[in-house]
Amino acid sequence: MALACAATAASAAQPSVKETVDAAIAPLQAKYGIPGVAVGITVDGKHAFYNYGVASKATGAKVDNRTLFEVGSFTKTLTATLACYAQTSGKLSFSAPASQYVSALRGSQFDHVSVLNLGTHTSGLPLFVPDNLTNDAQLMAWFRNWQPSSPIGTQRVYSNLGIGLLGRAAAQSLGEPFRDAVQKQLLPAFGMTHSWLDVPASSMPDYAQGYDKHDTPTRMQRGELADEAYGLRTTSGDIVRYLDANMGVAPLDAPWQRAVACAHTGYYTAGVFTQDLVWEQYPWPAALQTLQSGNSPDAILKGMPAQALTPPLPPQTEALLNKTGSTNGFSTYAAFIPAQRIGVVILANKAYPTEARVSAAYAILDALNRSHGPGQ
């Protein structure tokens, strides 16, 4: 459905939504040689989709609304929402040690790492699962031997391992495998009908080919904690519906509404943003440079001091919430502003810098914000 903009004299002089999106995406494709891009926009629950280029250079198949992209760490927001669903249902305690839910870790440092530490990147765990860990037994042994390099809860260190363990704890508390909890409960609840942790054969023709920074074709290699930390394949339409639900625009059952509110709660400040459960939050309006700083490689690859918010910050509407996601051959950025009821997602089948993604999305959000006020 195309967006319908108010036909005022002021808006008539502004570029159309399509012109704004075209102007944001064309330079990205030209500069970074991105084969295909899918953009989804939501304004007050009305959606617009803009598709560019090809899902595969080998076949020439065009990007369309059914094209599946790897979204990398955007997956973590689903893991956070599932953990919040378990917590607000009384099955998971954020203040409890992680070892309470992952019994193999009892007697280790995880007797002192809370579930909340896992979900807010304040456990001290590093970013990547070591390459030499190829099965669950090896992973658990690594966890049992791990020692933090600084006091737990004092540093924000972005971590696939931490969010992976959060997903394990949530699934254990719910009494079912993580993949089942996501694919049978969470995705249907949010209307994400074309999203997969395990892509079925019937949807493989929709799966885009990814390309690394050297233009070599690549797709995600599944490893330990992939489902929890970076394994989702999805479409622009499904993410837009997910953003709507996160803004309270789309219908959502009460237990999942509580989960969303939990995931939008601010638990720590770190650098230029507030760390919610996985989501990163900025007061709105926010400057482009602030968002680029908060999403910079340093914010992901290096630790930064974290300060606990006591009490936690309730969900804010005058805020921008965002999340990046990357695999070797795909790039994602999504952001939304609850008070304005606007959101955007940009999916691409090539690795390219986060700074450029944020800049493109910001241009789109800024144009939507200027042409659309709350309640309009």
Asked whether the predicted pLDDT for residue 58 surpasses 80, the reply is yes
User: Which of 9-18, 108-117, 304-313, 359-368 is the least confident region?
Assistant: 9-18
Angle at CA of residue 33, ends 32 and 39, nearest 5°: 85
State the average pLDDT over residues 6-33: 80
- Please list the residues that pair with 210 across neighbouring strands: 218
The two tokens of residue 56 are: 């595969």
How far, CA to CA in Å, does 145 sit from each of 104, 105, 110, 156?
12, 10, 10, 21
- For residue 13, what pLDDT is reported? 58
Name residue 103's amino acid.
S
Per-residue confidence band for 6, with pLDDT thresholds at 50, 70 and 90: very low
Question: Of 8 and 155, which is predicted with more confidence?
Answer: 155
pLDDT digits (tens, 9 = 90+) for 299-338: 999 999 999 999 999 999 999 999 999 999 999 999 999 9
Counting beta carbons within 10 angstroms of the beta carbon of residue 224, is it exposed (0 to 12), middle (13 to 18) or buried (19 or more)? buried
pLDDT digits (tens, 9 = 90+) for 70-122: 999 999 999 999 999 999 999 999 999 999 999 999 999 999 999 999 999 99
**Domain 9-71+177-371 in this protein, CATH class:** alpha beta
Q: What percent of the chain clears pLDDT 90, i.e. is strictly above it?
A: 92
Average pLDDT of the residues of the chain: 94
Enumerate the active-site residues: 73, 158
Whose CA is closest to 331, among 54, 127, 34?
A: 34
Residue with tokens 């005058």: 318
State the average pLDDT over residues 51-60: 98
Strands 217-218 and 233-234: unpaired
State the average pLDDT over residues 128-143: 94
Per-residue confidence band for 7, with pLDDT thresholds at 50, 70 and 90: very low
Per-residue confidence band for 142, with pLDDT thresholds at 50, 70 and 90: very high
**HSE of 299, CA atoms in CB hemisphere, 13 A:** 19
Name residue 193's amino acid.
T
State the average pLDDT over residues 211-239: 96
- For residue 14, what pLDDT is reported? 73
Per-residue confidence band for 28, with pLDDT thresholds at 50, 70 and 90: very high
Asked whether the predicted pLDDT for residue 222 surpasses 90, the reply is no
Q: What percent of the chain clears pLDDT 70, i.e. is strictly above it?
A: 95
Whose CA is closest to 348, among 202, 213, 247?
A: 213
What does pTM read for this prediction?
Answer: 0.95
**Residue 108 CB partners (closer than 8 Å, separation 6+):** 99, 143, 144, 145, 146
Asked whether the predicted pLDDT for residue 370 surpasses 90, the reply is no
- For residue 282, what pLDDT is reported? 98
pLDDT digits (tens, 9 = 90+) for 204-219: 999 999 999 999 999 9
Q: Where in the chain are the domains?
A: 9-71+177-371
Asked whether the predicted pLDDT for residue 376 surpasses 50, the reply is no
Asked whether the predicted pLDDT for residue 374 surpasses 70, the reply is no
